Amino acid sequence: MKRPSALAVFTGLVLLFLFAPIIVVVLNAFNSNHTLDSWDGFTGRWFSQAFSDSAVRSALWVSVRVALVSTALSLIIAIPASLWARRASRRARALLDGTTYMRIVLPEIVAAAGLFLLFRRINFGLGIATIIAGHVVFTSAYATIIIQARVATLSISLEEAAADLGAVPWRAFRRVTLPMLRPAVIVAGLLVFTFSMDDVVSSAFLSGNTVTLPVLIFGLMRFHVTPEVNAIAAGVTVLTLVTFSLSAALLGLRTGASIVVGARPEEASS
């Protein structure tokens, strides 16, 4: 069996390619050479410079608020819809799956441009509320796919047993269904929070004068590679890794990974 070893080498190279650039960004955030041409020693200066910038701090705060609300709304939309899908007619289910799939696959710029026109048309001021409206369009789709994949693996007999024992639907949901869904809800919530914190396209179209962190960094990145930008980028990377580690810590790496891998948008509409 010679083949697997060639495959292993290739896989290793691809993983190196995936990780090395991110590691370089993080290292360059500590590089005291401000032109980043070479490594001139270690400094924390860029971090203190970047995070003492009030524009960065206020943009971060906007992003956190947007992401928290978007996450909550996404779960409120996704959990009941996933439960509904089990008993829905074939047609109704296809409608849910098809629109969910479209919200993920359609280039974001198309949906964002349409929403921009809608808010313009009804004279609704652009700001945090409109950014959230735009984010939830796609974050709720991701949440639905993740939670629905989990729901599909559960048997409804437990809930029926709860109902037969006299539990009202809400109680059956809270005591039986929700605990079974907990892992998927945690993964969906953390992933969707991360995606919202990272979004540029919808935020840029729908923000008006409000600036989210990604829109701010995007503006900086278009023009320069500077150590300050690297410091902010490193900060964002750490933040996303925190949400990932949190899901791993709460659920174990194996369950968390299997939920991400098990959510398959490509099967949603078949």
Partner 1 sequence: MASGALARGGVSRSGGWAARRRLAKGSLVLPAFGWTAVFFVIPLILLIAYSFGHIDIITFTVQWGWTTRSYSQVFQSLYLSAIGRSLLLSSGATLACLLAGFPVAYYISLQRGRRQLVLLVAIIVPFWTSFLVRTYAMTNLLNAHWLGSGKLLDTPFAVGLGIFYTYLPLMVLPLYVALERIDPALRESAADLGAGGFSRLRRVIIPLAMPGIVAGCILVGVPSTGEYVIPSILGGGKVLMYGNVVADQFQSTGNYPFGAALAVSLMAALTVVVLAVRRASARREALA
Within positions 71 to 110, which residues make up the interface with partner 1, using CB under 8 A?
73, 76-78, 80-81, 83-88, 90, 92-93, 95-96, 99, 102-103, 105-110
The site map against partner 1 for 159-198 (x = CB under 8 A) is -x--------x---------------------x--x--xx
How many residues would you count in the chain? 270
User: What three-state secondary structure class fits 31?
Assistant: strand
In sequence order, the β-bridge partners of residue 42 are: 31
Pair 129, 121: CB distance under 8 Å: no
Q: Which of 55, 158, 178, 225 binds partner 1 (CB under 8 A)?
A: 225
Residues 6+ apart with CB under 8 A from 103: 111, 137, 138, 140, 141
Q: Which of 180, 244, 246, 250 binds partner 1 (CB under 8 A)?
A: 244
Q: With both helix axes pointing from N to C terminus, report the angle between 128-151 and 90-105 in degrees, rounded to the nearest 10.
A: 130
DSSP state of 212: -
The site map against partner 1 for 8-37 (x = CB under 8 A) is x-xx--xx-xxxxxx-xx--x-------xx
CA 218, CA 212: separation in Å to the nearest integer?
10
Closer residue to partner 1 (CB): 43 or 240:
240
In whole angstroms, how close is the CB of 244 to partner 1 at the nearest point? 5
Looking only at residues 102 through 161 of this chain, which bind partner 1 when binding is defined by CB under 8 A?
102-103, 105-111, 113-118, 121, 133-134, 136-137, 140, 144, 149, 152-153, 155-156, 160
Closer residue to partner 1 (CB): 60 or 115:
115
CA 19, CA 55: separation in Å to the nearest integer?
30
